[in-house]
Amino acid sequence: MKLKNIILFFVFIVWMSASVLAQDIHFSQFWSSPLHINPAQTGFFDGQVRLSAQHRTQWKAITKPYQTFSSSIDLPLIKRPYRQEVFGFGVNIFRDVAGDSDFGTTQLNLSFSYIKSLNRRNNSFLSFGIQTGAAQRTINYAELHFDEQFYNGRFNQGTGNTEIFAHDNFIFGDINAGLNWVYQPKNRQMWNFGVAMFHLNRPKQSLFNDKDVRLDMKIIGTATTSIKLDGDIDLNPMIITSFQGTYTEIIFGGLSKYILDKDPLTYTTLNFGIFYRAADAAYLMMGGEYMRFNFGISYDINMSRLKVASRYKGGWEISISYIFDKYKPRKIKELPCPIF
Protein backbone atom coordinates (compact mmCIF):
# COMPACT_ATOMS: atom_id res chain seq x y z
CA MET A 1 0.00 0.00 0.00
CA LYS A 2 1.32 3.47 -0.88
CA LEU A 3 2.43 5.84 1.88
CA LYS A 4 -0.35 8.27 0.86
CA ASN A 5 -3.00 5.62 1.59
CA ILE A 6 -1.35 4.78 4.91
CA ILE A 7 -1.50 8.44 5.99
CA LEU A 8 -5.15 8.80 4.88
CA PHE A 9 -6.06 5.67 6.84
CA PHE A 10 -4.38 7.05 9.96
CA VAL A 11 -6.13 10.43 9.58
CA PHE A 12 -9.46 8.54 9.46
CA ILE A 13 -8.59 6.70 12.69
CA VAL A 14 -7.65 9.96 14.41
CA TRP A 15 -10.92 11.54 13.29
CA MET A 16 -12.80 8.60 14.76
CA SER A 17 -10.87 9.06 18.01
CA ALA A 18 -12.25 12.56 18.39
CA SER A 19 -15.80 11.31 17.90
CA VAL A 20 -15.94 8.56 20.53
CA LEU A 21 -16.60 8.89 24.26
CA ALA A 22 -14.62 7.08 27.00
CA GLN A 23 -13.26 6.51 30.61
CA ASP A 24 -9.76 6.77 32.22
CA ILE A 25 -7.64 4.89 29.74
CA HIS A 26 -7.36 1.19 30.48
CA PHE A 27 -7.08 -1.79 28.17
CA SER A 28 -7.36 -5.50 28.89
CA GLN A 29 -5.47 -6.42 25.70
CA PHE A 30 -2.47 -4.42 26.90
CA TRP A 31 -0.07 -6.19 24.50
CA SER A 32 -2.00 -4.67 21.59
CA SER A 33 -1.23 -1.08 22.67
CA PRO A 34 2.58 -1.01 23.02
CA LEU A 35 2.91 2.79 22.92
CA HIS A 36 0.56 3.10 25.91
CA ILE A 37 2.55 0.56 27.90
CA ASN A 38 6.13 1.53 27.17
CA PRO A 39 7.52 4.15 24.74
CA ALA A 40 10.63 1.96 24.37
CA GLN A 41 8.52 -0.40 22.22
CA THR A 42 8.11 2.30 19.56
CA GLY A 43 9.24 1.02 16.19
CA PHE A 44 10.23 -2.40 17.52
CA PHE A 45 8.85 -4.73 14.85
CA ASP A 46 9.82 -6.19 11.51
CA GLY A 47 8.25 -3.93 8.89
CA GLN A 48 7.88 -0.36 7.67
CA VAL A 49 4.78 1.05 9.42
CA ARG A 50 2.50 -0.32 12.14
CA LEU A 51 -1.08 0.90 12.60
CA SER A 52 -3.20 -0.13 15.55
CA ALA A 53 -6.57 0.76 17.05
CA GLN A 54 -8.55 -0.33 20.11
CA HIS A 55 -12.02 0.32 21.46
CA ARG A 56 -13.33 -0.55 24.91
CA THR A 57 -16.77 -0.15 26.49
CA GLN A 58 -17.66 -1.09 30.07
CA TRP A 59 -20.17 -0.74 32.93
CA LYS A 60 -23.15 -0.69 30.57
CA ALA A 61 -25.06 -2.84 33.10
CA ILE A 62 -24.69 -0.16 35.82
CA THR A 63 -24.65 3.31 34.31
CA LYS A 64 -23.91 5.25 31.16
CA PRO A 65 -21.25 3.13 29.42
CA TYR A 66 -17.65 4.17 29.85
CA GLN A 67 -15.86 4.01 26.50
CA THR A 68 -12.29 4.36 25.28
CA PHE A 69 -10.90 4.65 21.79
CA SER A 70 -7.20 4.68 20.97
CA SER A 71 -5.16 4.63 17.79
CA SER A 72 -1.46 4.77 17.01
CA ILE A 73 1.06 4.72 14.21
CA ASP A 74 4.76 3.95 14.64
CA LEU A 75 7.71 3.01 12.50
CA PRO A 76 11.44 2.30 12.59
CA LEU A 77 12.36 5.71 11.22
CA ILE A 78 16.05 4.93 10.70
CA LYS A 79 17.53 1.43 10.48
CA ARG A 80 21.29 0.95 10.55
CA PRO A 81 21.94 -2.80 10.21
CA TYR A 82 25.67 -2.23 9.94
CA ARG A 83 25.61 -0.56 13.38
CA GLN A 84 22.86 -2.86 14.68
CA GLU A 85 20.64 0.03 15.76
CA VAL A 86 17.21 1.48 15.06
CA PHE A 87 15.64 4.89 15.74
CA GLY A 88 11.87 4.67 16.15
CA PHE A 89 9.09 7.25 15.97
CA GLY A 90 5.41 7.02 16.79
CA VAL A 91 2.19 8.95 17.38
CA ASN A 92 -0.72 7.81 19.51
CA ILE A 93 -4.00 9.46 20.41
CA PHE A 94 -6.84 8.46 22.67
CA ARG A 95 -10.26 9.80 23.59
CA ASP A 96 -11.83 8.78 26.87
CA VAL A 97 -15.04 9.91 28.61
CA ALA A 98 -16.55 8.57 31.85
CA GLY A 99 -19.86 8.92 33.71
CA ASP A 100 -22.89 11.17 33.45
CA SER A 101 -20.72 14.30 33.47
CA ASP A 102 -18.85 13.09 30.37
CA PHE A 103 -15.58 13.65 32.19
CA GLY A 104 -13.22 13.19 29.30
CA THR A 105 -9.60 13.12 28.29
CA THR A 106 -8.18 13.65 24.84
CA GLN A 107 -4.44 13.12 24.58
CA LEU A 108 -1.87 13.15 21.79
CA ASN A 109 1.63 11.75 22.34
CA LEU A 110 4.82 11.66 20.30
CA SER A 111 7.18 8.77 20.99
CA PHE A 112 10.88 8.40 20.18
CA SER A 113 13.00 5.32 20.73
CA TYR A 114 16.56 4.09 20.32
CA ILE A 115 17.01 0.33 19.85
CA LYS A 116 20.46 -1.27 20.04
CA SER A 117 21.52 -4.86 19.46
CA LEU A 118 23.59 -6.27 22.33
CA ASN A 119 25.38 -8.96 20.34
CA ARG A 120 26.48 -9.92 16.84
CA ARG A 121 23.74 -12.54 16.52
CA ASN A 122 21.10 -9.76 16.54
CA ASN A 123 18.89 -11.70 18.94
CA SER A 124 19.23 -9.52 22.05
CA PHE A 125 18.10 -5.90 22.06
CA LEU A 126 17.91 -3.08 24.60
CA SER A 127 15.73 -0.08 23.79
CA PHE A 128 15.09 3.28 25.40
CA GLY A 129 12.07 5.43 24.68
CA ILE A 130 10.78 8.85 25.62
CA GLN A 131 7.26 10.14 25.08
CA THR A 132 5.91 13.65 25.31
CA GLY A 133 2.42 14.92 24.70
CA ALA A 134 -0.45 17.23 25.52
CA ALA A 135 -3.86 16.40 26.96
CA GLN A 136 -7.17 18.12 27.60
CA ARG A 137 -9.63 17.17 30.31
CA THR A 138 -13.26 18.29 30.03
CA ILE A 139 -16.45 18.01 32.09
CA ASN A 140 -20.14 18.74 31.44
CA TYR A 141 -21.64 20.22 34.63
CA ALA A 142 -25.12 20.44 33.05
CA GLU A 143 -25.57 16.69 33.50
CA LEU A 144 -24.80 16.77 37.24
CA HIS A 145 -27.40 17.14 40.01
CA PHE A 146 -26.97 18.82 43.39
CA ASP A 147 -28.68 18.94 46.81
CA GLU A 148 -30.61 22.13 46.12
CA GLN A 149 -32.45 20.38 43.29
CA PHE A 150 -34.10 18.04 45.83
CA TYR A 151 -37.15 19.28 47.73
CA ASN A 152 -38.93 17.21 50.40
CA GLY A 153 -36.92 14.22 49.35
CA ARG A 154 -37.86 14.52 45.69
CA PHE A 155 -35.73 15.57 42.77
CA ASN A 156 -37.06 18.46 40.70
CA GLN A 157 -35.31 18.57 37.35
CA GLY A 158 -36.72 22.02 36.63
CA THR A 159 -34.94 23.52 39.64
CA GLY A 160 -31.64 25.09 38.72
CA ASN A 161 -28.54 25.19 40.90
CA THR A 162 -26.35 28.02 42.06
CA GLU A 163 -23.08 26.09 42.05
CA ILE A 164 -20.16 28.07 40.67
CA PHE A 165 -17.37 26.25 38.85
CA ALA A 166 -13.96 27.63 37.97
CA HIS A 167 -13.37 25.70 34.75
CA ASP A 168 -14.96 23.07 32.58
CA ASN A 169 -11.66 22.10 30.92
CA PHE A 170 -7.90 22.40 31.24
CA ILE A 171 -4.82 21.42 29.24
CA PHE A 172 -1.60 19.87 30.54
CA GLY A 173 1.68 18.47 29.24
CA ASP A 174 2.88 14.95 29.90
CA ILE A 175 6.33 13.27 29.88
CA ASN A 176 6.97 9.51 29.95
CA ALA A 177 10.01 7.26 29.51
CA GLY A 178 10.81 3.55 29.43
CA LEU A 179 13.35 0.74 28.94
CA ASN A 180 12.76 -2.61 27.23
CA TRP A 181 14.87 -5.73 26.73
CA VAL A 182 14.10 -8.45 24.17
CA TYR A 183 15.93 -11.76 23.78
CA GLN A 184 15.12 -14.29 21.07
CA PRO A 185 17.33 -17.38 21.48
CA LYS A 186 15.64 -19.24 18.63
CA ASN A 187 12.63 -19.13 16.33
CA ARG A 188 9.23 -19.05 18.07
CA GLN A 189 10.85 -18.34 21.41
CA MET A 190 11.21 -14.85 22.85
CA TRP A 191 11.61 -13.13 26.21
CA ASN A 192 10.53 -9.53 26.74
CA PHE A 193 10.95 -7.42 29.90
CA GLY A 194 10.14 -3.73 30.24
CA VAL A 195 9.69 -0.94 32.76
CA ALA A 196 8.24 2.50 32.09
CA MET A 197 7.50 5.63 34.11
CA PHE A 198 4.60 7.91 33.18
CA HIS A 199 3.71 11.49 34.22
CA LEU A 200 7.31 12.29 35.21
CA ASN A 201 6.40 15.98 35.38
CA ARG A 202 3.38 15.34 37.66
CA PRO A 203 1.04 17.73 35.78
CA LYS A 204 -1.61 19.79 37.59
CA GLN A 205 -5.10 18.27 37.54
CA SER A 206 -7.44 20.67 39.33
CA LEU A 207 -10.57 22.24 37.87
CA PHE A 208 -10.47 24.73 40.76
CA ASN A 209 -6.96 26.19 40.35
CA ASP A 210 -5.59 24.08 43.20
CA LYS A 211 -1.87 23.77 42.46
CA ASP A 212 -1.50 20.92 44.96
CA VAL A 213 -3.71 18.56 42.93
CA ARG A 214 -1.31 16.75 40.63
CA LEU A 215 -1.28 13.54 38.63
CA ASP A 216 0.74 10.84 40.41
CA MET A 217 3.62 9.20 38.59
CA LYS A 218 2.84 5.72 37.31
CA ILE A 219 5.28 2.82 36.99
CA ILE A 220 4.46 -0.08 34.65
CA GLY A 221 6.42 -3.32 34.55
CA THR A 222 5.86 -6.03 31.93
CA ALA A 223 7.16 -9.54 31.36
CA THR A 224 6.08 -11.66 28.40
CA THR A 225 7.44 -14.73 26.69
CA SER A 226 6.72 -16.97 23.73
CA ILE A 227 7.28 -20.71 24.08
CA LYS A 228 6.98 -23.31 21.31
CA LEU A 229 4.99 -26.28 22.63
CA ASP A 230 4.95 -28.37 19.44
CA GLY A 231 4.91 -27.94 15.68
CA ASP A 232 1.62 -25.98 15.61
CA ILE A 233 1.12 -24.49 19.09
CA ASP A 234 2.85 -21.61 20.88
CA LEU A 235 2.16 -20.43 24.43
CA ASN A 236 2.50 -16.76 25.45
CA PRO A 237 2.45 -16.20 29.26
CA MET A 238 2.23 -12.52 30.26
CA ILE A 239 2.17 -10.34 33.37
CA ILE A 240 1.83 -6.58 33.79
CA THR A 241 1.98 -4.56 37.00
CA SER A 242 1.04 -0.92 37.42
CA PHE A 243 1.64 1.31 40.45
CA GLN A 244 0.25 4.84 40.75
CA GLY A 245 -0.10 6.59 44.09
CA THR A 246 -2.05 4.26 46.38
CA TYR A 247 -3.36 2.17 43.49
CA THR A 248 -1.93 -1.12 42.25
CA GLU A 249 -3.00 -3.22 39.27
CA ILE A 250 -1.72 -6.71 38.48
CA ILE A 251 -2.78 -8.67 35.39
CA PHE A 252 -1.50 -12.12 34.55
CA GLY A 253 -2.49 -14.86 32.14
CA GLY A 254 -1.58 -16.07 28.70
CA LEU A 255 -2.43 -16.72 25.09
CA SER A 256 -2.28 -20.00 23.20
CA LYS A 257 -1.56 -19.62 19.49
CA TYR A 258 -2.62 -22.33 17.05
CA ILE A 259 -0.81 -22.01 13.72
CA LEU A 260 -3.29 -22.93 10.99
CA ASP A 261 -1.20 -22.03 7.97
CA LYS A 262 2.60 -21.70 7.98
CA ASP A 263 2.82 -20.52 4.37
CA PRO A 264 4.58 -17.09 4.34
CA LEU A 265 1.98 -15.65 1.95
CA THR A 266 -1.07 -16.75 3.95
CA TYR A 267 0.31 -17.13 7.48
CA THR A 268 -2.71 -17.68 9.75
CA THR A 269 -3.18 -18.33 13.47
CA LEU A 270 -6.07 -18.67 15.88
CA ASN A 271 -5.45 -17.28 19.38
CA PHE A 272 -7.22 -17.95 22.68
CA GLY A 273 -6.44 -16.40 26.05
CA ILE A 274 -7.53 -16.14 29.66
CA PHE A 275 -6.39 -13.45 32.09
CA TYR A 276 -7.06 -12.29 35.63
CA ARG A 277 -6.91 -8.71 36.91
CA ALA A 278 -6.30 -9.05 40.64
CA ALA A 279 -9.32 -8.19 42.83
CA ASP A 280 -11.24 -6.90 39.81
CA ALA A 281 -12.04 -9.18 36.87
CA ALA A 282 -11.26 -12.23 34.80
CA TYR A 283 -11.47 -11.99 31.05
CA LEU A 284 -11.44 -14.19 28.00
CA MET A 285 -9.89 -13.28 24.67
CA MET A 286 -9.92 -14.74 21.20
CA GLY A 287 -8.38 -13.47 17.99
CA GLY A 288 -5.87 -14.35 15.37
CA GLU A 289 -3.38 -13.35 12.73
CA TYR A 290 -3.68 -13.35 8.98
CA MET A 291 -0.56 -12.35 7.10
CA ARG A 292 0.23 -9.00 8.74
CA PHE A 293 -3.17 -8.40 10.34
CA ASN A 294 -3.57 -9.06 14.06
CA PHE A 295 -6.98 -8.79 15.74
CA GLY A 296 -8.60 -9.67 19.04
CA ILE A 297 -11.83 -9.43 21.03
CA SER A 298 -12.16 -9.85 24.78
CA TYR A 299 -14.81 -9.63 27.49
CA ASP A 300 -14.30 -8.76 31.16
CA ILE A 301 -16.23 -10.70 33.80
CA ASN A 302 -16.46 -8.42 36.82
CA MET A 303 -15.50 -10.19 40.07
CA SER A 304 -14.98 -7.19 42.38
CA ARG A 305 -17.36 -6.02 45.11
CA LEU A 306 -19.22 -4.18 42.37
CA LYS A 307 -20.49 -7.51 41.03
CA VAL A 308 -23.68 -7.11 43.08
CA ALA A 309 -24.64 -4.21 40.85
CA SER A 310 -22.88 -5.28 37.66
CA ARG A 311 -24.18 -8.88 37.82
CA TYR A 312 -20.67 -9.95 36.78
CA LYS A 313 -20.91 -7.91 33.56
CA GLY A 314 -17.79 -5.94 32.70
CA GLY A 315 -16.98 -4.75 29.22
CA TRP A 316 -16.12 -5.57 25.63
CA GLU A 317 -12.85 -4.68 23.96
CA ILE A 318 -11.67 -5.06 20.38
CA SER A 319 -8.24 -4.46 18.87
CA ILE A 320 -6.74 -4.55 15.40
CA SER A 321 -3.30 -3.83 14.00
CA TYR A 322 -1.59 -4.07 10.65
CA ILE A 323 2.07 -3.90 9.69
CA PHE A 324 2.88 -2.49 6.26
CA ASP A 325 6.00 -3.75 4.56
CA LYS A 326 7.55 -4.39 1.18
CA TYR A 327 6.88 -7.91 0.01
CA LYS A 328 9.41 -10.36 1.37
CA PRO A 329 8.43 -13.97 2.13
CA ARG A 330 8.89 -15.01 5.72
CA LYS A 331 11.94 -17.20 6.06
CA ILE A 332 12.98 -19.50 8.84
CA LYS A 333 16.30 -17.97 9.85
CA GLU A 334 19.09 -19.94 11.43
CA LEU A 335 19.82 -16.90 13.56
CA PRO A 336 16.47 -15.24 14.38
CA CYS A 337 16.19 -11.46 14.50
CA PRO A 338 12.92 -9.73 15.45
CA ILE A 339 13.56 -6.42 13.61
CA PHE A 340 16.25 -6.78 10.87
The CATH number of residue 139's host domain is: 2.40.128
In sequence order, the 6+-apart residues with CB closer than 8 A to the CB of 35 are 41, 42, 72, 74, 90, 92, 109, 111, 131
Q: How many helices (H) and strands (E) does the chain have?
A: 3, 16
The per-residue pLDDT for 308 is: 60
Q: In whole angstroms, what is the distance from residue 305 CA to residue 319 CA?
A: 28
All residue ranges of the chain with pLDDT < 70 are: 1-24, 59-63, 306-310, 312, 327-336, 340
Q: Are 35 and 27 in contact (CB under 8 A)?
A: no
Give domain status of residue 304, yes or no: no
In a domain, 265, yes or no: no
Please state the domain count of the chain.
1
For residue 301, tell me if it sits in a domain: no
**Whole-number pLDDT of residue 61:** 63
Structural contact between residues 106 and 76, judged by C-beta atoms closer than 8 angstroms: no
Among the residues of 206-310, which ranges form H helices?
307-310
DSSP structure class, residue 44: -
Q: Are 109 and 131 in contact (CB under 8 A)?
A: yes
Which residues, other chains included, contact 236 with Cβ-Cβ below 8 Å and sequence gap of 6+? 224, 225, 226, 227, 254, 255, 256, 257, 273
pLDDT at 154: 82
**pLDDT of the residue at 286:** 98
In a domain, residue 313? The reply is: no
Report how far residue 340's alpha carbon sits from residue 336's, in angstroms, rounded to the nearest whole number.
9
Would residue 92 count as lying in a domain? yes
Q: Say which DSSP state 12 is in.
A: H
So what's the pLDDT on residue 58? 79
Alpha helices in 119-167 (DSSP H): none
Indicate the pTM of the whole model.
0.86
57 assigned to some structural domain: yes
Count of beta carbons in the 10 Å neighbourhood of residue 63: 12
Q: Quick one: which of 42, 10, 1, 44 has its CA closest to 324?
A: 1
- Residue 159 CB: number of other CB atoms within 10 A? 12
pLDDT given at position 21? 35
Per the CB < 8 A criterion, the answer to whether 69 and 95 are in contact is: yes
pLDDT tens across 101-141, in order? 888 999 999 999 999 999 988 999 999 999 999 999 999 88
Domain enclosing residue 117, as ranges: 3-258
The pLDDT score that the predictor gives to residue 1 is: 47
Distance of CA 34 to the CA centre of its chain: 6
Any domain includes 15? yes
